[in-house]
Structure 1
Amino acid sequence: MTPVIFAELQRRHAEPHRAHHDWARIAGMLAMTEDIAHALADRPAFILAVLFHTAVFDRTRPDSEARSIAVMRDMLDRTLPRPMLDRATVLIHAVLRQELPETDDPGLRADAALICDMDHAVLGEPAARFMAYEAANRREYAHLPDERYRAGRIAAYQMLLWRDRLYLTDRFHLEREKRARRNIDAALDRLEEA
């Protein structure tokens, strides 16, 4: 990846409407990627997905996912192999939809599970970090009135708690599941009291 493309990604992630989905988050996900590099089936495609999955980010539009993929392809189509970009595209779809791809490729499914878990890693952070995330998330939804935001957030958290497991991989499940559930329960209490 060229310095120009890297700088463009940093510029995009510095947009003023980003409070959580910023470059610090990407840097954190890249650091986690290094920690799990041994478990990845396709590290280059995984890193591309991390770098580009929120290249376009606008909470008021439903097409950020497609636009992020288009940015990646526009920037890299002539320089990287198509299979790598195709795999990164599948991973971007997985992380933004929070669902594993339908594929016979176990490595791709495993990489998708890891990127989904990395995306939700903040749910299992210490309470202060989780509360900072909650505040940042609210700023990203500043266009919504409080009542609508609360209703949507409550529904989203309740749907998460209905799952048998918040995290798809054993690594994240063992490290973060209990704390994530405590954080979500506390967030629901605050949202319901507001």
Structure 2
Amino acid sequence: MSNIRYKDISQEKLLDILLYRWQNTIQLFKVNPIDTNIIFNNIIAGYSSPGRYYHTLEHILHVLITIDKLQAYVQDIHSVQIAAWFHDIVYDTQAKDNEEKSAEYASELLYKLGFAANNIAHITDLIINTKSHQAAADDFDSQVLLDADLAILAADPVQYQEYAQAIRQEYAWVPQDQYIAGRKQVLEKFLQRDRIYFTPLMFEVAEQSARANITAEIQTLSQQ
């Protein structure tokens, strides 16, 4: 949905944009400003940790901007935004429970900040749904978060290639033949779905591009 290359933004500018967005979202929950800044710094550290090449601060900004564009479909925009901030806070390519750990991290933190139990439950559900990338027909908040999380699949071919290479770097520990088999399986599952994107807008403007990119990557992997 966008040709902006987030990785081309300077680190200082990126942090300024993210801090502005974080403060605008969290202030609605009347959190102590000192706690707000401490949490922000923790988030920055998490997404800047070694071994991350795609699941970085640039990814979070891309997700947040895409949520902006899809907010007409959202029921609880602030919960969706907070879930976006935390959905990859725990990311270990050798683990199988990153989403659960990220949801747990968010839950404990939000509880300490005084968030209502129903808000926390909704946010953690949103995060956990990024594991399967499936959402119920009436779960519009999850649909928006998932579409935003997968927006990269519809990027222009050059950006998509950079994304695919970044994912490979995150799985550098996996032997090439195993990576190709596993990656093709993941990609083919997306192609087998009736639709990759849930929201009408993303389905209209991004579905064909995403399928073309995925098909091209599978072909490239098959030739290696």
> TM-score under structure 1 normalisation?
0.93
User: 1:89 matched to which residue of 2?
Assistant: 124
The answer to whether the Cα contact below 8 Å between 2:48 and 2:57 also exists between their aligned partners in 1 is: yes
Deviations 1:146-181 (A, max 9, x none): 000000111111111112211112111111111111
User: 1:159 matched to which residue of 2?
Assistant: 189
User: 1:38 matched to which residue of 2?
Assistant: 72
Aligned partners of 1:83, 1:99: CA distance in 2, in Å?
21
The answer to whether the Cα contact below 8 Å between 2:66 and 2:151 also exists between their aligned partners in 1 is: no
The answer to whether the Cα contact below 8 Å between 1:29 and 1:118 also exists between their aligned partners in 2 is: yes
Percent identical pairs in the alignment equals 26
Aligned partners of 1:69, 1:184: CA distance in 2, in Å?
28
User: 1:144 matched to which residue of 2?
Assistant: 174
The answer to whether the Cα contact below 8 Å between 1:9 and 1:55 also exists between their aligned partners in 2 is: yes
Q: Does 1:73 align with 2:107?
A: yes
Aligned partners of 2:187, 2:69: CA distance in 1, in Å?
28
Q: Does 1:189 align with 2:219?
A: yes
Deviations 1:70-104 (A, max 9, x none): 211221103211111110111111122212159xx
Aligned length: 189
User: 1:98 matched to which residue of 2?
Assistant: 133
- Residue identity opposite 2:109 in structure 1: M
SS, match of residue 97 in structure 1: coil
The list of structure 1 runs, each at least 4 consecutive aligned residues, that deviate by more than 6 angstroms after superposition, is: none
Which runs of structure 2 are paired with 1:166-177 in the superposition (5 Å)?
A: 166-177=196-207
CA RMSD of superposed structures (Å): 1.3
User: 1:16 matched to which residue of 2?
Assistant: 50
Aligned partners of 1:69, 1:156: CA distance in 2, in Å?
23
- Point out where structure 2 has 5 or more consecutive residues left out of the alignment: 1-25, 27-35
User: 2:11 matched to which residue of 1?
Assistant: none
User: 1:123 matched to which residue of 2?
Assistant: 153
SS, match of residue 30 in structure 1: helix
- Residue identity opposite 2:110 in structure 1: L
SS, match of residue 62 in structure 1: coil
61-70 or 143-152: bigger deviation: 61-70
The answer to whether the Cα contact below 8 Å between 1:52 and 1:69 also exists between their aligned partners in 2 is: yes
- Residue identity opposite 1:159 in structure 2: K
Q: Does 1:114 align with 2:144?
A: yes
SS, match of residue 89 in structure 2: coil
- Residue identity opposite 2:54 in structure 1: H
User: 1:56 matched to which residue of 2?
Assistant: 90
Aligned partners of 1:139, 1:51: CA distance in 2, in Å?
22
